[in-house]
A and B are shown apart, each in its own frame.
Chain A
Amino acid sequence: MGQVTSYRFVEHLPDLIGPEEYAEQPSGGLVRFSISVGENGVEVLGDAIRPEVLERILEALGPEEIEQMLCG
């Protein structure tokens, strides 16, 4: 059984999808990732027009923690 992923709310995360792409994705299916390796291990940065799709993908990777920006 996999570990439970917790969410940590952060001030800022970089965008990987620009506003000019919204019109090209009427169904909102676009998901984009940036994967990097650093001193602390592998970092997967994701952006999606549908947040729940991105969350499902990231959770499937089994991280201890996912960073999320809040709305408002």
Chain B
Amino acid sequence: MEWTAATLYQTAGDRLACTLCPVRCKLADGQVGACRVRRRTGERLETGTFATTVRHYDAIERKPLYHFRPGSSVLTLAAPGCTFRCDYCINHRISQYGRDDVPWRADAVDPAEVIELAASRGASVGLSYSEPSLAIELTLALAALGAHRGVGVVWKTNGFLTEEALALAGPALAAVNIDIKAADEKRHHELTGAPLAPVLASLRALHARGVWVEASTPLIPGVSASPSDLARIAAVIASVDPGIPWHLLRYTPAYRRSADLPTLPDALAAAARIGHEAGLRYVYVERALGPSGRATRCPGCGDTVVTRDVWALRELRLRDGTCPECGTVVEGRWDK
């Protein structure tokens, strides 16, 4: 593990206060933060996240981002670590670094090399699989270089950031998908170990800053899967912007939640109806409902304007972001 200079901290008496996530750890010299990937050394903060465990070329649809450069690819990086401790996390072997005896497995990243690789394939760079906001320094470096090469940076994030971090990250991000995992504070805290309010604040703040925002909700029994909980989550998203795409994720029991039952297709279909009833224009289910669950319909005339295969674009019928039948604007960043 290689420690490099971090940003987002300030002096707090004899401590250094990390201002990246809302936990706001106040660190003594040598102390590691609750995230396990940021530490104080002398009078500076350091991060271990200028690194990645993987370099994967994915379809942008896999993040999932359905309304951002459809059909393009994304070079995905992931440094170990997460600010959440979700007990259903399939990615726990990298996300729970510092807990569970997860070993450090990551190599240092050369941002210039990554940007050139992405540019050569017309790809974005994505930070995903673990919590990308913990790699904000890497994000800023990639975005600075990517701006000159037409390479945007995208996150799949839990949205657990401070206002200071949002102000720094917002201008660097082209698109984000934010997980909204529960409808209320109590169950969100039980699931993740963290409060919900900062997540919703991030949704609003990044949307207000002009970052393309999509949201995802896994249907977790007892946490988010009931109709009333889904309606609350959908209403929150719609209150920010009914044009935010909402991805409903089939839940598969994993990690420490093996006693649960997996989500059935009927439940996903019902959840999609709830999303539409809340006013959301674009509600998606990746696999369980077949191609219709992945299709984009014009909010004006209902015509199908984008069709998708699993993790792939099939056909984009929009003309300059509008429906070819009725001319209604379909929200998104549709340019390749």
11 contacts between A and B (CB under 8 A): A10-B56, A11-B57, A19-B265, A22-B250, A23-B266, A50-B253, A51-B252, A68-B93, A70-B128, A71-B91, A72-B62
Q: How large is the interface on A (under 10, 10 to 19, 20 to 34, 35 or more residues)?
A: 10 to 19
Given A22-B250, A28-B253, A50-B253, A9 and B94 contact (CB-CB distance below 8 Å)? yes
Cross-chain contact of A28 among B54, B62, B262 (Cβ < 8 A): B262
Query: A4-28 toward B: CB 8 Å interface, digit per residue (1/0)?
Result: 0001011100000001001101111
Counting CB contacts under 8 A, is A39 at the interface?
no
Counting CB contacts under 8 A, is B63 at the interface?
yes
B243-298 interface with A by 8 A CB criterion: 250, 252-255, 258, 261-262, 264-266, 287-290
Number of interface residues of B (CB under 8 A): 30
Task: Contact check, A51 vs B254: say whether CB atoms are below 8 A apart.
Answer: yes
Chain B residue nearest in CB terms to A7: B93
Task: Name the B residues within 8 Å of A10 (CB-CB).
Answer: 56
Q: How far is the CA of A28 from the CA of B262 in the complex (A)?
A: 6
* Interface SS of B by simple majority: loop
Task: Contact check, B252 vs A50: say whether CB atoms are below 8 A apart.
Answer: yes
Task: Contact check, A70 vs B288: say whether CB atoms are below 8 A apart.
Answer: no
Task: Contact check, B254 vs A72: say whether CB atoms are below 8 A apart.
Answer: no
Q: How far is the CA of A19 from the CA of B261 in the complex (A)?
A: 16
Task: Contact check, A70 vs B129: say whether CB atoms are below 8 A apart.
Answer: yes
Known A-B contacts: A70-B129, A71-B129. Give 16 more (CB < 8 A): A9-B54, A9-B94, A11-B56, A19-B265, A22-B250, A22-B265, A22-B288, A23-B264, A28-B253, A50-B258, A50-B262, A52-B258, A70-B78, A71-B90, A72-B63, A72-B128
Chain A residue nearest in CB terms to B63: A72
Task: Contact check, A26 vs B261: say whether CB atoms are below 8 A apart.
Answer: yes
Task: Name the A residues within 8 Å of B289 (CB-CB).
Answer: 19
Expressed in whole angstroms, the minimum distance between the Cβ of A65 and any Cβ of chain B is 13
Counting CB contacts under 8 A, is B308 at the interface?
no
Counting CB contacts under 8 A, is A49 at the interface?
yes
Task: Contact check, B258 vs A22: say whether CB atoms are below 8 A apart.
Answer: no
- Measured CB to CB, the residues of A under 8 A from B are 7, 9-11, 19, 22-23, 25-28, 49-52, 68, 70-72
Task: Name the A residues within 8 Å of B287 (CB-CB).
Answer: 19
Task: Name the A residues within 8 Å of B156 (CB-CB).
Answer: 72
Task: Name the A residues within 8 Å of B288 (CB-CB).
Answer: 19, 22
Counting CB contacts under 8 A, is B83 at the interface?
no
Chain A residue nearest in CB terms to B293: A19
Counting CB contacts under 8 A, is B49 at the interface?
no
Task: Name the A residues within 8 Å of B258 (CB-CB).
Answer: 50, 52
Task: Contact check, A52 vs B91: say whether CB atoms are below 8 A apart.
Answer: no
Expressed in whole angstroms, the minimum distance between the Cβ of A35 and any Cβ of chain B is 23
Task: Name the B residues within 8 Å of A68 (CB-CB).
Answer: 93
Task: Contact check, A70 vs B94: say whether CB atoms are below 8 A apart.
Answer: yes
Q: How far is the CA of A50 from the CA of B319 in the complex (A)?
A: 42
Counting CB contacts under 8 A, is B133 at the interface?
no
Q: How far is the CA of A52 from the CA of B255 in the complex (A)?
A: 7
Task: Contact check, B265 vs A70: say whether CB atoms are below 8 A apart.
Answer: no
Q: How far is the CA of A28 from the CA of B252 in the complex (A)?
A: 8
Counting CB contacts under 8 A, is B202 at the interface?
no
Counting CB contacts under 8 A, is B53 at the interface?
yes
Task: Name the A residues within 8 Å of B229 (CB-CB).
Answer: none
Expressed in whole angstroms, the minimum distance between the Cβ of A56 and any Cβ of chain B is 10
Chain A residue nearest in CB terms to B126: A72
Q: How far is the CA of A52 from the CA of B128 in the complex (A)?
A: 21
Expressed in whole angstroms, the minimum distance between the Cβ of B213 and any Cβ of chain A is 16
